[in-house]
Amino acid sequence: MAKLLIIYHSQTGNTEEMAKAVAEGAKVEVTLKKAFDAKAEDLIACDAVAFGSPTNFGYMSGAVKDFFDRTLPACRGKVDGKPFAAFASMAAEKRVAIEAIESIAASFGLKKVADGPLAKGKPAPEILDECRELGKKLATG
């Protein structure tokens, strides 16, 4: 496994902390991209991808949804079977953002390889450990 891409949005830093822990666990070449800056070519070029989002209004953040909306046409047929996992932060809403990302990622042809961690607010140390484990899992296929 050569390249792991992490696409995330974070307004107050919770999801960003998780994204950095995923990167830390991977121990391979990692590209951390804010969702508004991420492009179709980034997804096409990576070997595995993690998506991170806060839970906003019972869904993934608009920034992460914007990435999917912008890049589907260019990615069609070019990312089939690529491993992915989603992680999220929330206040109280359970796994809705993760499930929403998983549903859209499946329509890109990506293959889910793990149930990603969900943090309530600032991620606890054990959640950050789970993020590191997720990075390791994605990096080792």
Among 121, 124, 126, 140, binds ligand FMN (CB under 6 A): 121
Which contacts qualify for 111-117: CB closer than 8 Å, 24 or more apart?
A: 111/81, 111/82, 111/83, 111/84, 112/83, 112/84, 112/85, 113/48, 113/83, 113/84, 113/85, 113/137, 113/138, 114/85, 114/138, 115/85, 116/50, 116/52, 116/85, 116/86, 116/87, 116/88, 117/18, 117/87
Which residue, 43 or 63, has its beta carbon nearer to ligand FMN?
A: 63
Which of positions 22-81 make contact with ligand FMN (CB under 6 A)?
54-58
Among 24, 42, 93, 115, binds ligand FMN (CB under 6 A): 93
User: Is 71 in contact with 107 (CB distance < 8 Å)?
Assistant: no
> What minimum distance in Å lies between the beta carbon of 42 and ligand FMN?
20
> In 3-state terms, what secondary structure has residue 48?
strand
13 makes contact with ligand FMN (CB under 6 A): yes
Draw the binding track, 71-90, toward ligand FMN (x: CB under 6 A; -: no contact): ------------------xx
Span near ligand FMN by CB under 6 A; candidates 5-13, 39-47, 104-112, 126-134: 5-13
Binding site for ligand FMN (CB under 6 A): 10-16, 54-58, 89-93, 121
